[in-house]
Structure 1
């Protein structure tokens, strides 16, 4: 509520504070004011300054010059001075109620030319000086210590619309000043009246007149009141012995005035007097009649009410208990059900039933809130065909399907309020039948569960299911094509539901549930929704909530209460963070993107490793290391001691004559060291003269632990090399040892190997061979592998 609204409400409430019902309203107002005072600093908050309940004895000094609304109520201020407000030139609203001010001179406000609202009620004012021209619109002087009416003949308030007065003594002439004022509302408190002289009460011209009578004393002022332009009359504390006087006043008023609205508060009378007042109002110009906070009335069996033509359109009986202790309740029900008016309200009356009209009714509005009505109300009732609004909250209804059957014959029903009942619905295959024109349904604060969606009007536009026991929206519900607003606040939802059955939904309210994330159906079916209220839910801040936040950023959904009412609850490390401040990487939430990034990274790593392998020739090194390992393994496995007795050389070298320079200058010097640990068999120095070449080849191969073949394109062109390879290969199969070492000096294209050298092709295809590296950095590892392959301890010769 805005500060200005609080001030405006206070003037009306303060004036009626001594009546029982308004004491409650007064307490509510002061509670709100006190709450505001406790939650705001005592100094200025913008243009609204509050010092209510601050134990002040004087008006505070140095108030902000820009103050427009000032609340100084409920203090001990006893005196006002011009200097208190002279510097607050923009002041518009001033509340000084509930202080101890004894005197007032309007000149203290002469510099406050914008002052419109002044509340001085509930002080101790005894004198009033009106020597000032003010532009007040609202002035409340009620509940002070005036003996006579506090009206000045020289008062100049041409804009005054509301005036509150009270006095201990009234004379008719006291009201003469009122004839010069064009008031909208006049409030008269006569609770402290002790003397009344009726002579000369002028004709009142205000539109709204509110009078609070003394609860025990009757001064017959009603008989002397003359109302001309008054349209609304509100009377407080009407007693049983004033009924005849009230009836005479109303009859006179219907002849001389145009009274449209009549309200009787705190009325205490019998059922017979109540009916007589109602019958009198029936024949007046009153269109809207309200009885509020009446006494308990015991209805009788008499039903002599005459339903003549009437101007009355609405009758409201509020907080007035009507009982039928010694009477047949049918008579009382019949009085109300047969009324030929358009709107009837009976609330807080402890009604247990209401009859269906015996003939087609004029009712378009019925309200029976806060009674004890049950499912039998309006059962099979077909005479309420004009009824458009039916309000039944706070009763004892239990079965939703019966409520639907109740509305079936209400052909014009558009709005139904069944809130704060005990409604439930169980699915037993029975179909609900609602009124065809029902577009707004309030089922809040009942005991309804998910099954309620199987019993709803198909043409409904606004549906309120707040404060029930709904945990989800079933997928098998009937599609509500016209539904525009759905209220599911304060239920048991764990996911933000989808809109699959509600294609026209504009507003979805799911605040104060147990929602941790939107459902998958929400993203797919709620794209066209306008507003979502999902405040105060325990959201799980994860990838799903990120997509929900993106919908708001893209303008697809308006989140009411964003961002302060949307907080993370789970996981623990982000609890209390606003959803708008929660961030998570796109990579974490997008599985496709994550896989793509991983594959790209793997591809880049493979490319880098491949490049490094090629650039650093790592495969060659690995190959050589593997060969060295295999050689060591074979040496360990084959236990050479048994075949070394006849061995004289570590290796026999077979090569082409064209490769002899490399063999003589590179290969043999690097294998044969000065220590003589390795002995090489070479045909130029180890062939025995007198033997044939073939015999020398066979003899050298037999006496050598290993046979090294230096392969090159020249090798495959040599006939003798082929013989040497043939004999070495024969020894390999004969002795089943691994004596062959293939050393590739230069690459050999397969197409240059003659077809008859099939053994060479087979060996190169099956066996690994050492490649001679041209880079010096690799030659050290090459020689180490080769030495390891031929190194063995031979017997001394």
Structure 2
């Protein structure tokens, strides 16, 4: 009970989480439907059933209660499950059953009650109400003639009888049973099973008998029973016997009404020698052996027992999972239409130079150890009726410059799961309609496929293709193309468009790289979505990592990043806007002036770093000597000197009104001040060129010893001076203004701060000025 509660709560929690989170809301109804219609409670240690267990499943259709410990069954627990169709109560401990409650499951089509503790079949009269019952599973230790009368009117399709523990069987006990197929697990301890076998072979046309263990005395009874039976389709499973007994069974079936004989899970014991037998006359059309477990590895005769099968006159022969390494070419023209030899150890020598398989239409050799494709082509060249060849799951590789002689009738060829490369396309039969070369080592599909004019289906999945094949090389009749699970990162729009006449294209599950180049392909895919199988769910981005798992349909890159013309336009437009903005700044804020001032500051900083400071400041007492016209005296006194000589006394200027020594000539004072100053400041204006003394000061400053080796002249253009207004005698001034960068006095007040800062930076240096007067009167 605890296990049941756990399952129910788990289902409820899962459904609630899906609804609350809202994730994948479109799938919630499907999940809810799955939880409501199918319930597996097998292996849950249930001992009793309660109606409350199933109240939340009113739409339950499939219920599995097998492998529990139920001892009694009352079907009233399913009173609200009116649509219940399949009920499995096998492998319990049921001894009794409430027959009056059977009407609660009257819609059941599948009912499995096998492997319980019923003494009899327990088919009470109420089973007549199960009018839709088609599949029934039972077990019993005793079977009487009247046991199946209550379901005699039922048109059953399948009846399973697990009779391993049968102890008593009354002759004719199964005669009233009507079913299309009867599956009986034979008892091992029943003293006489002749009557049971006789009834088995005369109830339905399809019979499966399991757990058959025959000794030499078994074949005589089987012989008489099979010959007189009505069975046309006989299935023998889980059978253990010697080769001799097996051959007797084959001989018996050959002369009976059996047309189709299938043997599954056959364990061979004792000897199995080749024995000549005439298989030319008989009713058997198909013979199938699947899973043969050998306990015999040595044979007494010179001929291998497998030769028996090659001599059989049957239309369809299957030897699968039989561990055979060779199969004989029939000694005479064979009537094989279908020959299936899958999951064995067959090599390239199979059917070498065989001329007798002229009627074969289907040859299935998948999952063997074939290697050379040329041997396969040579093998089929004599099979004039061959239409379908399956050699998948081998070790085939294609050889270069080898003749390829295929059967001219071949239409379907499966070469999947081998080691084939691109060269295989030059070695294919011309009239193929279906070609499967998936799961190989193909990297491209080129012009070599031009000769396949009739091709309708082409399977190229799980290879190494990096592009969609060019459909112009493929047949115009192609209706199906599978190229999923390859290495197609960026498929071509043009190649996809060329394949628009192909009705179904499987192109999903590739490693798509979602970038601008893929955008055109996505647009084409959306227009051809009816042709693309799995669109859009199977088409996912693989690269880049941040887009992994995103459907191609939802990949929407910006037009700016993918259109080069738009991108160039945006860049050019942005540059134009910036250019216009710069023009506006230049005009409105005089930006060139600021740039020029900053450049001058940086240039002076660089030059000062490269001057030998000790030599430059030796004997200096002033930071700068000021030379100006007397007409500009007011500007110098009120603005220049106060802004440079501040209270911090970091700069000391040489001003002639303050620092010229009385008693000396003007020329001597000018020369002395220039020599005692680290730099010279010249305030240029139209007034400056009219002053003779200013001309002398400029001349002396330029030709001073220090001035020859460093940038000791600072020119301040107070007012503009056109070159044509400067007299010829002031050639030095013209040359200096052309060679040196000068500082312009800005008329706008907002620029004054930067001007003074730049000027102070130009003349400031560490000169060891003394506290007392620098010049002492003589």
Q: Quick one: distance in 2 between partners of 1:223 and 1:358?
A: 37
Measured after TM superposition, the shift of residue 715 of structure 1 is: 5.3
Given that 1:631 and 1:788 are in contact with CA atoms closer than 8 Å, whether structure 2 keeps it comes out as: no
The equivalent residue for 1:142 is none
Given that 1:203 and 1:225 are in contact with CA atoms closer than 8 Å, whether structure 2 keeps it comes out as: no
Question: What pairs up with 1:666-685 in 2 under 5 angstroms?
Answer: 678-681=653-656
Q: Which moved more, 1:299-308 or 1:92-101?
A: 299-308
Given that 1:74 and 1:99 are in contact with CA atoms closer than 8 Å, whether structure 2 keeps it comes out as: yes
Relative to structure 1, the CA distance from residue 164 to residue 348 in structure 2 (aligned partners, 3 Å threshold; closer, same or farther) is same
The equivalent residue for 2:268 is 296
Measured after TM superposition, the shift of residue 325 of structure 1 is: 1.0
Given that 2:127 and 2:151 are in contact with CA atoms closer than 8 Å, whether structure 1 keeps it comes out as: no
Measured after TM superposition, the shift of residue 291 of structure 1 is: 2.7
Q: Tell me how large the CA RMSD over aligned residues is.
A: 5.9
Q: Which moved more, 1:232-241 or 1:633-642?
A: 633-642
Given that 1:732 and 1:739 are in contact with CA atoms closer than 8 Å, whether structure 2 keeps it comes out as: no
Relative to structure 1, the CA distance from residue 154 to residue 295 in structure 2 (aligned partners, 3 Å threshold; closer, same or farther) is closer
- 1:118 paired residue among 108, 111, 122: 111
- 1:315 paired residue among 268, 287, 303: 287
Relative to structure 1, the CA distance from residue 281 to residue 43 in structure 2 (aligned partners, 3 Å threshold; closer, same or farther) is same
Given that 1:189 and 1:213 are in contact with CA atoms closer than 8 Å, whether structure 2 keeps it comes out as: yes
Q: Quick one: distance in 2 between partners of 1:214 and 1:283?
A: 26
Q: Quick one: distance in 2 between partners of 1:599 and 1:412?
A: 72
Cα deviation, 1:171-199, whole Å, max 9, x if unaligned, reads 55655555433333344455444455547
The answer to whether 1:374 aligns with 2:344 is: no
Given that 1:42 and 1:50 are in contact with CA atoms closer than 8 Å, whether structure 2 keeps it comes out as: no
Measured after TM superposition, the shift of residue 678 of structure 1 is: 4.9
Measured after TM superposition, the shift of residue 82 of structure 1 is: 5.9
The answer to whether 1:95 aligns with 2:63 is: no
3-state secondary structure, aligned to 1:114:
coil
Query: TM-score w.r.t. structure 1 length?
Result: 0.67
The answer to whether 1:77 aligns with 2:77 is: no
Q: Which moved more, 1:764-773 or 1:670-679?
A: 670-679
Question: What pairs up with 1:491-530 in 2 under 5 angstroms?
Answer: 498-499=466-467, 506-508=481-483, 510=485, 520=489, 530=506
- 1:243 paired residue among 215, 219, 226: 219
The equivalent residue for 1:232 is 206
The equivalent residue for 2:16 is none
- 2:50 paired residue among 51, 54, 60: 60
3-state secondary structure, aligned to 1:369:
coil
Given that 2:343 and 2:366 are in contact with CA atoms closer than 8 Å, whether structure 1 keeps it comes out as: yes
The answer to whether 1:214 aligns with 2:187 is: yes
The equivalent residue for 1:21 is none
Measured after TM superposition, the shift of residue 345 of structure 1 is: 0.5
Q: Quick one: distance in 2 between partners of 1:726 and 1:289?
A: 127
Q: Which moved more, 1:426-435 or 1:44-53?
A: 426-435
The equivalent residue for 2:357 is 384
3-state secondary structure, aligned to 2:354:
coil
Cα deviation, 1:345-365, whole Å, max 9, x if unaligned, reads 023444332122345544332
Relative to structure 1, the CA distance from residue 407 to residue 712 in structure 2 (aligned partners, 3 Å threshold; closer, same or farther) is farther
Q: Quick one: distance in 2 between partners of 1:734 and 1:223?
A: 133
Q: Quick one: distance in 2 between partners of 1:190 and 1:786?
A: 116
Relative to structure 1, the CA distance from residue 790 to residue 292 in structure 2 (aligned partners, 3 Å threshold; closer, same or farther) is closer
Q: Quick one: distance in 2 between partners of 1:619 and 1:193?
A: 111
The equivalent residue for 1:327 is 301
Given that 1:533 and 1:560 are in contact with CA atoms closer than 8 Å, whether structure 2 keeps it comes out as: no
Q: Quick one: distance in 1 between partners of 2:718 and 2:438?
A: 90
Query: TM-score w.r.t. structure 2 length?
Result: 0.68
Q: Quick one: distance in 2 between partners of 1:443 and 1:584?
A: 34
The equivalent residue for 1:185 is 158
Relative to structure 1, the CA distance from residue 659 to residue 252 in structure 2 (aligned partners, 3 Å threshold; closer, same or farther) is same
Measured after TM superposition, the shift of residue 344 of structure 1 is: 0.8
Given that 1:744 and 1:772 are in contact with CA atoms closer than 8 Å, whether structure 2 keeps it comes out as: yes
Q: Quick one: distance in 1 between partners of 2:494 and 2:387?
A: 28
- 2:100 paired residue among 101, 104, 107: 107
Q: Quick one: distance in 2 between partners of 1:158 and 1:407?
A: 53
Relative to structure 1, the CA distance from residue 750 to residue 118 in structure 2 (aligned partners, 3 Å threshold; closer, same or farther) is farther
3-state secondary structure, aligned to 2:217:
helix
Given that 1:407 and 1:435 are in contact with CA atoms closer than 8 Å, whether structure 2 keeps it comes out as: yes
Relative to structure 1, the CA distance from residue 94 to residue 678 in structure 2 (aligned partners, 3 Å threshold; closer, same or farther) is closer
Q: Quick one: distance in 2 between partners of 1:414 and 1:375?
A: 20
Residues paired across the two proteins, number? 689
Unaligned runs of 5+ in 2: 13-34, 475-479, 500-504
- 2:318 paired residue among 345, 358, 363: 345
Cα deviation, 1:298-342, whole Å, max 9, x if unaligned, reads 45454231413x654321123346877122326x55543344433
Relative to structure 1, the CA distance from residue 305 to residue 41 in structure 2 (aligned partners, 3 Å threshold; closer, same or farther) is farther
Measured after TM superposition, the shift of residue 166 of structure 1 is: 5.1
Given that 2:100 and 2:126 are in contact with CA atoms closer than 8 Å, whether structure 1 keeps it comes out as: no
Q: Quick one: distance in 2 between partners of 1:666 and 1:289?
A: 123
Q: Quick one: distance in 1 between partners of 2:743 and 2:449?
A: 83
Given that 2:102 and 2:129 are in contact with CA atoms closer than 8 Å, whether structure 1 keeps it comes out as: no
Q: Quick one: distance in 2 between partners of 1:387 and 1:106?
A: 55
Unaligned runs of 5+ in 1: 1-34, 126-144, 512-517, 690-695
3-state secondary structure, aligned to 1:747:
coil
Cα deviation, 1:689-719, whole Å, max 9, x if unaligned, reads 9xxxxxx997776555177544335656x49
Cα deviation, 1:25-70, whole Å, max 9, x if unaligned, reads xxxxxxxxxx999988687843433332233321135113224433
Cα deviation, 1:532-582, whole Å, max 9, x if unaligned, reads 347xxxx9xxx95789999999868877997999999x99xx9xx984599
3-state secondary structure, aligned to 1:296:
strand
The equivalent residue for 2:477 is none
3-state secondary structure, aligned to 2:595:
helix
Cα deviation, 1:64-87, whole Å, max 9, x if unaligned, reads 322443332222222234653335
Cα deviation, 1:763-785, whole Å, max 9, x if unaligned, reads 21211223223334346436646
Q: Quick one: distance in 1 between partners of 2:434 and 2:191?
A: 54
Cα deviation, 1:206-240, whole Å, max 9, x if unaligned, reads 32233444346444327864988943222342745
